[in-house]
Each structure stands twice: as structure tokens, then as C-alpha cells.
Amino acid sequence: QTPSAVNKIKQLLKDKPEHVGVKVGVRTRGCNGLSYTLEYTKTKGDSDEEVIQDGVRVFIEKKAQLTLLGTEMDYIEDKLSSEFVFNNPNIKGTCGCGESFNI
């Protein structure tokens, strides 16, 4: 996680004391196969991998762990948009609209 991503997650969780962190996963979607999911979570799943950075807890779903190996999670904000971005070295291709990727 980049410092920008850590800070944004801290900010988001500040208003959600019942949640302990965020969970990252992948789902089948789009024309090329997979897309990222990111959601608040109240508990660590039995098979989730936990990453703690500067007090921020990120849980990676078991079926996404190999797909996300070596991935950097960033948060980018500009005049037109703000979003979490995943810089994944495992990606072999993406669809034209950027909605999905394949490994």
C-alpha cells in the first residue's frame, strides 16, 4: 500500500468504528475475466491474508491471494476523479474499457 492508500483507508474507517479494515478480492467480470473488489469488513475471514501497514488492516480473500501477489494498492486523486488503483505485475492483458483484466 502506498502512503496515499493508507491515509485514505484511515480516513474512510474513521467514520465506521464497527469495521476493522477493508477486504480486497477479485471477481469474474467484464470482457477480459477479473475485476477488483474492495469493501469494508467487520471481521477477518478464516482464510484471509492480513496485511497491516501504519495501523491500517487490509484483508485479502483467499481466492485472490495468488492473483494479487506483488500488487501495490494506491489512491489517486485529481481534478476529475479519485480512486484506488491496483498496480499488479501479474496482469497479462486488460479489456479496452479497463473494467477487467486477465492473468
Predicted confidence (pLDDT) per residue in 61-98, tens digit: 998 888 888 889 999 998 888 989 888 787 666 655 55
Integer-rounded Cα radius of gyration of the chain? 14
Instruction: Show the cell assigned to 93.
Output: 492483458
* Cα distance between residue 52 and residue 9, in whole Å: 12
Asked whether residue 100 is assigned to any structural domain, the reply reads no
Does the structure show a pLDDT above 70 at 102? Answer: no
Does the structure show a pLDDT above 60 at 101? Answer: no
* Cα distance between residue 71 and residue 76, in whole Å: 16
Q: For residue 17, what is the domain's CATH number?
A: 2.60.300.12
Asked whether residue 97 is assigned to any structural domain, the reply reads no
Strand, coil or helix: what is 13? helix
Please indicate whether residue 4 or residue 100 has the higher confidence score (pLDDT): 4
Predicted confidence (pLDDT) per residue in 18-54, tens digit: 999 999 998 877 666 778 889 999 999 999 999 999 9
Query: Is the whole model's pTM more than 0.85, yes or no?
Result: no
Q: Which domain holds residue 76?
A: 3-87
pLDDT value of residue 21: 95
Asked whether residue 31 is assigned to any structural domain, the reply reads yes
Number of domains making up the chain: 1
